[in-house]
Structure 1
Amino acid sequence: MLIVQNIRLSRVLLDTWKVDVIMIISCTVAYFIREYLIAYHFEISAIIPTVLGTAIAFFIGFNNNQAYDRWWEARKIWGAIVNDSRSLARNLINYVDDEEAAKRMVARHISFVYALKAALRDTVDEIYTKYLTEHDKNEVESHNNVHNAILNIQAMELQKLYKENKIDGFKFMEINEMLVKLTDSMGACERIKNTIFPTTYSYLTKVFIWLFVVTFTLVISQDMGVFSIFMGWLIGFVFVSTQINGMRLVNPFYINASGLPLNSISRTIEINLLQMMNETDIPEPVKPINDEYIL
């Protein structure tokens, strides 16, 4: 997630340079076609790029709004996970009459957070095994959905504590409700990750931008000559950079500068819960990369 107020132009150019090269080539070809073929026969009406520009504005606006909605929903979900994690740990530490079991469940929850993060990012992150017992590790190895398996182990141990009268019925229900909330958050994250953004919108937006750049260059070359190549690229750059930056939010869990800082959020939960257990081996918070963004 970007943490700076202003984005460096070099970063924008780094993200768009391939498209920029294609646009420059397209503008150059369009200029020579008009100069040596079309100019001798007819003039191109300015209404064509005008209509295309309007269509592009609608498509980019829709794409970016929907992409931001996905990103913001994911951020709210992980905000809820942070709050529910603290509440769960507080309830376990203060309500369960078995200190060792309570700490074991809190540590297991840290494992759940890291397992969920790894699954959402499609990465191989074995840090979650750090907070699991050998029995838990063997249990989750047989499951494709590791984070769900961890929650299931939590529920089984909670039931065991209740049967052993180490927690009363009301507190049992309250802690179980926290596990239900975490399951809801987990499912919401999986829904966002597994729901593909409509490819037709992003594809048509790219096609319309390319058509717009070409027709715009054809029209203004009638007055600006060779300088129309630069102007065609410049106007196209505005549309392309806006569209690319918006579409980077479509997959909020991916590892990029615009994605959610899941590393930082997970580490924050880990630090908070370890401190609640009065542990001394506390990891450092995740630091920003180049003071520009945080993962």
Structure 2
Amino acid sequence: MLISKTVRITRIISGTWKHFVFNIIICVATYLVYHFLFHDRIEVPMLLPSILGTALSFFIGFKNNQAYDRWWEARKIWGELVNDSRTWTRNILSYVNPNESINGNELNKIKRQAVHNHIAFVYALKKGLRSSADMEYRNYLTSKDVEAVELESNVPNAILNLQTNLLESLYKNGLVDGFKFMQLNQTLTKFCDEMGKSERISNTVFPTSYNYYTKLFIWIFIVCATLVAASSIGPWSIVLGISIGYVFLTTYKIGYSLLNPFEDITSGIPLNQISRTIEINLLQALGEKDIPEPVQAVDNEYIM
């Protein structure tokens, strides 16, 4: 996620130079074709690029709004996950109390396991959303649990099943009463909802035809604008076409970069940072000493 209030020109160029070069080629080729083949033979009406440009503005604006909605919804989901993770840990540490059948040390191990399982859930969910090779969740599960959850295709859901079984065991052993059991179970349900919402965004592909035709119409608009200008300003139509095209292509690129918010790119949701924040908060709540460092921003520009 970009965090800098200013954007370096090098970053803009690195993200748009391919479009820019192709834009130059298209505009130069369009002018040369008009000058040598259609000069004084055909005149493109001004109405064509005017109508097409207006339609494209609404089209790209609608697409960018939809892309930002996907990005913002993803950010809200993981913001809720942070809060619910803290709630889960706080309630586990406060609601689960020892009785005559179990001593304090054993109970602390169970509490620690419940919190560690949740950290594993967060990292497994991040891995699934980014389709990465990271196996950080294994650090917080027992070898037996690792084998069990990796037998299933959806590892985060399998970890939630472990949590449900653990919570049921606490209730049956009288370590948590019915009311507190319901609250803890409700938190697990929220985790499942947040997992499902994240997977829905990740697995729902923005219509390919929408992206394809938007880009196609932008190139048609650039050609038309260059042709219209060529009859009145000559070679300067190349500069005009490049300028207009760069604006439309860059605007399109901005929206396109937000369509998949969980991708491991600079404009995506900072899952590494959020996951590490949850990990740090939960380990500190347990009173553990081996606390990892927060994820740092890269060049004070973005954080992953």
Q: CA deviation at 1:59?
A: 1.2
What's the counterpart of residue 198 of structure 1?
Answer: 207
Q: CA deviation at 1:258?
A: 0.5
Counterpart selection for 1:121 from 127, 130, 133 = 130
Q: Is the 8 A contact 1:59 1:201 kept in 2?
A: no
Runs of 4+ in structure 1 displaced over 6 angstroms?
none
Counterpart selection for 1:243 from 229, 246, 252 = 252
Q: Is the 8 A contact 1:193 1:253 kept in 2?
A: yes
Q: CA deviation at 1:53?
A: 0.3
Identify which range, 3-12 or 159-168, moves more after superposition. Answer: 3-12
What's the counterpart of residue 69 of structure 1?
Answer: 69
Q: CA deviation at 1:104?
A: 0.7
What's the counterpart of residue 46 of structure 1?
Answer: 46
SS at match of 1:147: helix
What's the counterpart of residue 82 of structure 2?
Answer: 82
Identity percentage of aligned residues = 52
Q: Give the count of matched residue pairs.
A: 295
Give the AA of the match of 1:13: I
Identify which range, 140-149 or 7-16, moves more after superposition. Answer: 7-16
Q: Could you report, residue by residue, the CA deviation over 1:92-133 in whole angstroms, capped at 9, with x for unpaired residues? A: 011112221011100110000000001000101111100001
Q: Could you report, residue by residue, the CA deviation over 1:15-67 in whole angstroms, capped at 9, with x for unpaired residues? A: 11112122111111110111112122132211111111011101101110000
Q: Take 2:196 and 2:41, find their aligned partners in 1: how far apart are those partners?
A: 61
Is 1:37 matched with 2:37? Answer: yes
Q: Take 1:92 and 1:121, find their aligned partners in 2: how far apart are those partners?
A: 29
What's the counterpart of residue 260 of structure 1?
Answer: 269
Q: Could you report, residue by residue, the CA deviation over 1:201-250 in whole angstroms, capped at 9, with x for unpaired residues? A: 21111011100111111111122221211221111000101111111111
Give the AA of the match of 1:43: E
Q: Could you report, residue by residue, the CA deviation over 1:236-286 in whole angstroms, capped at 9, with x for unpaired residues? A: 000101111111111000011110000000000000000000011111100
What's the counterpart of residue 295 of structure 2?
Answer: 286
Is 1:59 matched with 2:59? Answer: yes
For structure 1, which runs of at least 5 residues remain unmatched after alignment?
A: none
Q: Take 1:234 and 1:280, find their aligned partners in 2: how far apart are those partners?
A: 57
Q: Take 1:109 and 1:192, find their aligned partners in 2: how far apart are those partners?
A: 22
Identify which range, 95-104 or 208-217, moves more after superposition. Answer: 95-104
Is 1:150 matched with 2:164? Answer: no
After TM superposition, the score normalised by the length of structure 2 is: 0.95
RMSD value over aligned CA atoms? 0.9
Q: Take 1:23 and 1:284, find their aligned partners in 2: how far apart are those partners?
A: 44
After TM superposition, the score normalised by the length of structure 1 is: 0.98
Q: CA deviation at 1:86?
A: 0.2
Give the AA of the match of 2:61: G
What's the counterpart of residue 102 of structure 2?
Answer: none
